[in-house]
Chain A
Amino acid sequence: MLEKFKDYLRVKAGLTDEQFTAISGKLKTRKIAKGTILLRQGEVCHHSFFVSSGLLRSYTIDTAGKEHIIQFAPENWMITDRSSNYFNEPSELFIDAIEDTEFILVTNEFIDAAACSSQSFQRYDNRALHNHIRHLQSRVSLLLGATAEQRYLDFIKLYTELTLRIPQWMIASYLGITPESLSRVRKELAHKNFKPY
């Protein structure tokens, strides 16, 4: 399972196999069943999760008990609560498994050790942080000002292959619209683009 993460870091962060092997003892691999909760609201998040197979998500639950999905993490994605982890504060998020999932528990010790041994990793880590901020800015702006269709088009660009794995209500929750609105968007797109045979 570590192989996938090693490949990922070689390609994305320029971490050599030797550098990886020297610090890979700071990583742990886990296998969990669909529905397993990895982080609960109120807990402090101490790691990142790298998904090697399966699918994780992060979400909040509002005072009325409704879930709002923040992020999906399929294979080769990382997911965590960055602010809880960095500031050592209780998290507002839940993270759980939508499918049976194998993941790597990436400890802060691993990140620190990788940054010490590789400048290229430092640049990657910095870029990953700014990419995260860019993504959040774009999410805020879409949620405040975009139509349901624009939000859906943004979703399928980012998560092209997830539309067949995730139930409709979860996509709607991520987009901040009702499942009925999502159906309407899809119906309208089909109306524009479907050429019946």
Chain B
Amino acid sequence: MKTRNIELILTPPAPHMVGDGFRVHNFIPGYRLNMQRMSPFIMLDYNSKFYFPPTDKPRGVSVHPHRGFETVTIAYHGKVAHHDSAGNSGVIAEGDVQWMTAASGVLHKEYHEKEYSKQGGDFQMVQLWVNLPAKDKMSKPQYQEITNASINKYTLPGNNGVIEVIAGQYEDAKGTASTFTPVHLQNAKLNKGAVVPFTFPAGYNTALLVIEGSIRVNGEEKAPADNFVVFKNDGETFTIEALENAVVLVLSGEPINEPIAAHGPFVMNTREEIVQAFNDVNMGKFGYLEE
């Protein structure tokens, strides 16, 4: 199998606030990557570790819709509470993942969980949007609440760490998240000195986000914490070496080669479908949710 080489390493762009609760670096779509290039990963916002002081009024993002894709929230530090217009609610805590299939339409809000807000503390999360193929964009919304305990883990030999498989597969560990197109999403929690191989089909768009520590890829280029490593599609296999204890989010997915029409919280295939989404939200077809 051929080596998959690095295309570019992005340092975190200047952060911006989403609502008042998420201080994010936007990597996709960003100044170097558009939605098609990283498909099926069409948006990646990274809240690098940031201390939020205590408050009685939880910070967050007020009511907003989504249609046409899935939002995947991966919590490393801090807790987020969410509510939607169909009456669902829950808390995403450290180590947990929420995989929300917005599909035909969800109206929701996301705030720091009450107790976490009162105490304050470090906050570190990824929100990833995974596109849906045209045929599934208007399917039924659903949630997969993936607690850390339920994530299948592959223990690396030689005390090198573990791979938490959220979706897809690493060796014999399979992710429990069900996906509409082939997606691998894994947290590699590596001990210093570990050199770990990853193999995905060359055509899959593939990237790494260094959450903690620093790494060397393919024995060559180094990437420190909060950097985003984008691979070429020129081979199947690459290695991550942990230069210190490290946590790395590994993403690899089969591109969805369909037209993209995106506007704010809607990602569809045509401009007409975007207008339809606005009309449907305005007419209450996504339901109602108190601010």
Interface residues of A (CB under 8 A from B): 156, 160-161, 163-164, 168, 183, 186-197
| A160 in contact with B288 (CB, 8 Å) | no
Roughly how many angstroms separate A164 CA and B281 CA in the complex, as a whole number?
9
Residue among A164, A194, A195 making CB contact with B288, cutoff 8 Å: A194
Roughly how many angstroms separate A193 CA and B279 CA in the complex, as a whole number?
12
A190 contact set on B, CB distance < 8 A: 85, 284-288
B288 contact set on A, CB distance < 8 A: 186-187, 189-191, 194
Majority-rule SS of A interface residues: helix
Residue among B265, B275, B286 making CB contact with A194, cutoff 8 Å: B286
A188 contact set on B, CB distance < 8 A: 284
Roughly how many angstroms separate A188 CA and B283 CA in the complex, as a whole number?
10
Q: Assuming the A-B contacts A164-B64, A164-B264, A164-B265, are A191 and B140 also in contact, with contact meaning beta carbons closer than 8 angstroms in the complex?
A: no
How many residue pairs link A and B with beta carbons under 8 A? The number is 56
Chain A nearest CB: distance from B53 CB in Å? 25
| A196 in contact with B86 (CB, 8 Å) | yes
Q: B12 at the A/B interface (Cβ < 8 Å)?
A: no
Q: Assuming the A-B contacts A168-B291, A196-B86, are A163 and B278 also in contact, with contact meaning beta carbons closer than 8 angstroms in the complex?
A: yes
A189 contact set on B, CB distance < 8 A: 283-284, 288
Measured CB to CB, the nearest residue on chain A to B291 is A168
Size category of the binding interface on chain B: 20 to 34
**Interchain Cβ contacts under 8 Å between A and B, 29 examples:** A160-B275, A160-B279, A161-B278, A163-B278, A163-B281, A163-B282, A164-B64, A186-B284, A186-B288, A187-B284, A187-B288, A188-B284, A189-B283, A189-B284, A190-B284, A190-B286, A190-B287, A190-B288, A191-B284, A191-B288, A193-B283, A193-B284, A193-B285, A194-B288, A196-B86, A196-B87, A196-B287, A197-B86, A197-B104
Measured CB to CB, the nearest residue on chain A to B288 is A190
Measured CB to CB, the nearest residue on chain B to A152 is B282
Residue among B86, B263, B284, B285 making CB contact with A161, cutoff 8 Å: B263
Majority-rule SS of B interface residues: loop
Roughly how many angstroms separate A196 CA and B285 CA in the complex, as a whole number?
9
| A197 in contact with B85 (CB, 8 Å) | no
Q: B65 at the A/B interface (Cβ < 8 Å)?
A: yes
| A156 in contact with B140 (CB, 8 Å) | no
The 8 closest A-B pairs by CB, nearest first: A189-B284, A190-B284, A190-B288, A156-B282, A194-B287, A193-B284, A197-B140, A187-B288
Roughly how many angstroms separate A183 CA and B291 CA in the complex, as a whole number?
10
Q: B141 at the A/B interface (Cβ < 8 Å)?
A: yes
B285 contact set on A, CB distance < 8 A: 190, 193-195
B65 contact set on A, CB distance < 8 A: 164
Chain A nearest CB: distance from B258 CB in Å? 23
Interface residues of B in 51-84 (CB under 8 A from A): 64-65
A191 contact set on B, CB distance < 8 A: 284, 288
Chain A nearest CB: distance from B60 CB in Å? 16
Roughly how many angstroms separate A183 CA and B85 CA in the complex, as a whole number?
14
Interface residues of B in 241-291 (CB under 8 A from A): 263-265, 275, 278-279, 281-288, 290-291
Measured CB to CB, the nearest residue on chain A to B280 is A193
Measured CB to CB, the nearest residue on chain B to A160 is B278
A161 contact set on B, CB distance < 8 A: 263, 275, 278
Residue among B86, B141, B284 making CB contact with A192, cutoff 8 Å: B284
Roughly how many angstroms separate A64 CA and B63 CA in the complex, as a whole number?
31
Residue among A164, A193, A197 making CB contact with B141, cutoff 8 Å: A197
Chain A nearest CB: distance from B16 CB in Å? 12
A160 contact set on B, CB distance < 8 A: 275, 278-279, 282
A195 contact set on B, CB distance < 8 A: 285
Roughly how many angstroms separate A89 CA and B278 CA in the complex, as a whole number?
39
Roughly how many angstroms separate A41 CA and B65 CA in the complex, as a whole number?
37
Roughly how many angstroms separate A192 CA and B140 CA in the complex, as a whole number?
19
Roughly how many angstroms separate A195 CA and B284 CA in the complex, as a whole number?
10
Roughly how many angstroms separate A196 CA and B140 CA in the complex, as a whole number?
9
B140 contact set on A, CB distance < 8 A: 197
